């Protein structure tokens, strides 16, 4: 409980800095570009992830397998809701007037579920690498530890590559706006490749 409160209080300061530009621009009647609003929504979504993911920490308790399967479960359940045509159309429509708070922020609100799944995939990788690095038998053999970490990352990369292509081909194309399961696997796969 104390961890949730500290996570919440540390996220509040960052959250205030994300609402401040929106409040300032609205009150002084500056023209808000759509990209500015999208960036603010995305940043608010990221801030809520720590708070929303903290109840699962008591279940995961540093286990990479538990984090992986919780992430997969959340992602599959969310994807099953996205497969409902009316729900998917509601999230992706542009033409309708956005009048309510939920309508104005629907991508950010509902994609949070997908980002929580992505967060737990990242945690599962980190917990597995931490387990390898903290192994007492291999502490002195740095080359063996490096090989084991590299092999683990390669296995995760292959798994996410296969899942990305299967989901894109048979379920739904990659969509960042709704953070569907294909996007979650695709983003997890891209983590393993260095940027140019």
Q: Is residue 4 in a domain?
A: yes
What pTM was computed for the model?
0.72
Asked whether residue 5 is assigned to any structural domain, the reply reads yes
Residue 130 placed within a domain: no
Highest mean pLDDT among 33-42, 65-74, 151-160: 65-74
Beta-carbon-side half-sphere exposure of residue 89 (alpha carbons within 13 Å): 5
Domain count, the chain: 1
What pLDDT does 2 receive?
54
Question: Do residues 172 and 182 make contact, with C-beta atoms less than 8 angstroms apart?
Answer: yes
Report if residue 91 sits inside a domain.
no
- How far apart are alpha carbons 173 and 30 in whole angstroms? 36
Q: Is the pLDDT of residue 140 over 70?
A: yes
pLDDT at residue 194 greater than cutoff 70: no
Query: Is residue 154 domain-resident?
Result: no
Sign of CA dihedral 160, 109, 43, 123: negative
- As a whole number, mean pLDDT of residues 48-56 equals 78
- The helix-helix angle for 34-53 and 106-133 (nearest 10°) equals 50
Is 31 within the bounds of a domain?
A: yes
Question: Residue 13's domain spans which residues?
Answer: 1-59
In a domain, 159, yes or no: no
Q: Are 64 and 124 in contact (CB under 8 A)?
A: yes
Question: Checking phi first, is residue 121 left (phi over 0); if not, alpha (psi -120 to 50) or beta?
Answer: alpha
pLDDT on residue 75: 92
In a domain, 28, yes or no: yes
Q: Which two tokens stand for residue 26?
A: 């609205």
Residues 96-117: what's their mean pLDDT? 82
For the chain, give the mean pLDDT: 77
How many Å apart are CA 67 and CA 47, to the nearest integer?
20
Q: Is the pLDDT of residue 8 over 70?
A: no
Report d(CA 178, CA 174) in Å as an integer. Answer: 9
User: Cα 35 to the chain's mean position, in Å?
Assistant: 20
Q: Using one digit for the tens of pLDDT, what is the confidence trace for 53-63?
A: 888 888 888 88
Asked if 156 contacts 100 with a C-beta cutoff of 8 angstroms, the reply is no
Looking at the chain, the whole-number percentage of residues with pLDDT higher than 90 is 10
In the predicted structure, residue 14 carries a pLDDT above the cut 70: no
pLDDT tens-digit series, residues 121-139: 888 888 988 888 888 766 6
pLDDT at site 123: 87
Residue 28's pLDDT is 47
């Amino acid at each position: 409980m104390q961890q949730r409160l500290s996570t919440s209080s540390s996220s509040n300061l960052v959250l205030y800095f994300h609402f401040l530009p929106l409040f300032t621009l609205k009150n002084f009647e500056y023209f808000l570009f759509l990209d500015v609003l999208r960036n603010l929504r995305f940043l608010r979504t990221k801030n809520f992830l720590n708070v929303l993911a903290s109840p699962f920490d008591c279940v995961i308790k540093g286990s990479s397998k538990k984090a992986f399967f919780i992430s997969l479960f959340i992602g599959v359940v969310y994807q099953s809701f996205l497969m409902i045509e009316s729900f998917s159309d509601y999230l992706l429509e542009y033409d309708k007037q956005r009048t309510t708070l939920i309508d104005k922020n629907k991508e950010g609100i509902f994609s949070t579920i997908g980002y929580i799944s992505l967060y737990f995939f990242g945690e599962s990788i980190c917990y597995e690498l931490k387990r390898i690095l903290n192994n007492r038998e291999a502490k002195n053999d740095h080359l063996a530890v490096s090989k084991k970490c590299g092999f683990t990352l390669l296995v995760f990369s292959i798994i996410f590559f296969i899942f990305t292509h299967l989901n894109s081909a048979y379920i739904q194309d990659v969509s960042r706006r709704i953070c569907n399961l294909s996007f979650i696997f695709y983003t997890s796969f891209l983590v393993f490749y260095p940027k140019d």
